[in-house]
Amino acid sequence: MADMSMQRSGVCLSEALNLLPLETPDATTWSMIASKINASKLPSRTERPRRWQIFASAACLCTLLAGIIYFNENRSVKVLPADSQLASLMQQSSKLETLLLAMRNPISSNAVTEAWQLSFDEQLQNIDQQLYLDTLSQTQQVALWQQRINILQQANSLSVRQRLHAAEGSAYNVALVESY
């Protein structure tokens, strides 16, 4: 409100406009802004798979299959001495584990995926604990490493199928049911 002198004689346009009080927005505005900002930080979970993701998944699958075939051929054809056999198994295990880690996607994960990943991790930990024992014979070590590789192959196979199902837009749970 203006003073009495303004009410008697009139008021300059600039002065009148500048004396208008500030207006107040709704009290809920900030919570809406904050939620929009938080939402913009998260990647969309409903994004459709892009063409490059489908190609990447297919490439992963091919690499894995080639690796498995190569490993199986090596295993079936060559009879290696115990030391070199162990080294070869360790190398193979390392490759498969690297591939598995590369394929794990925390963004597109869900409860079912998490469950079987935990299951595989637990099995690997059990084997690793046994491999730490000094009392193991070389034959036992080879057997454990072989077991480790089998688990990693299963995990990789499931990961690849999960990626392919996701790329095609279908639910991953189907793959899990089929595999078991």
List interacting residues with another protein (CB under 8 A). 1-3, 6-26, 29-30, 32-34, 36-38, 40
Residue closer to another protein by CB (options 29, 110) is 29
Q: How far apart are CA 79 and CA 126, in angstroms?
A: 28
CB of residue 31 to another protein, shortest distance in Å: 10
Minimum Å distance from CB 89 to another protein? 47
Residue count (the chain): 180
Q: How far is the CB of 123 from another protein (least distance, A)?
A: 40
* Least Cβ distance, residue 9 to another protein (angstroms): 7
Instruction: State which residue, 41 or 45, has the beta carbon closest to another protein.
Output: 41
Of the pair 23, 134, the CB lying nearest another protein is at 23
Roughly what angle, to the nearest 10 degrees, separates helices 51-77 and 82-103? 170
The single residue listed with the structure tokens 């009080």 is: 21
Report d(CA 82, CA 165) in Å as an integer: 40
21 vs 106 by CB, closer to another protein: 21
For residue 21, the minimal CB distance to another protein (Å) is: 6
Nearer to another protein, 29 or 119 (CB): 29
Q: How many CA atoms lie within 13 A of 136 on its CB side?
A: 17
Residues contacting residue 165 through CB under 8 Å, at least 6 positions apart: 171, 172, 174, 175
Cβ burial of 162 (10 Å; 0-12, 13-18, 19+) is: buried
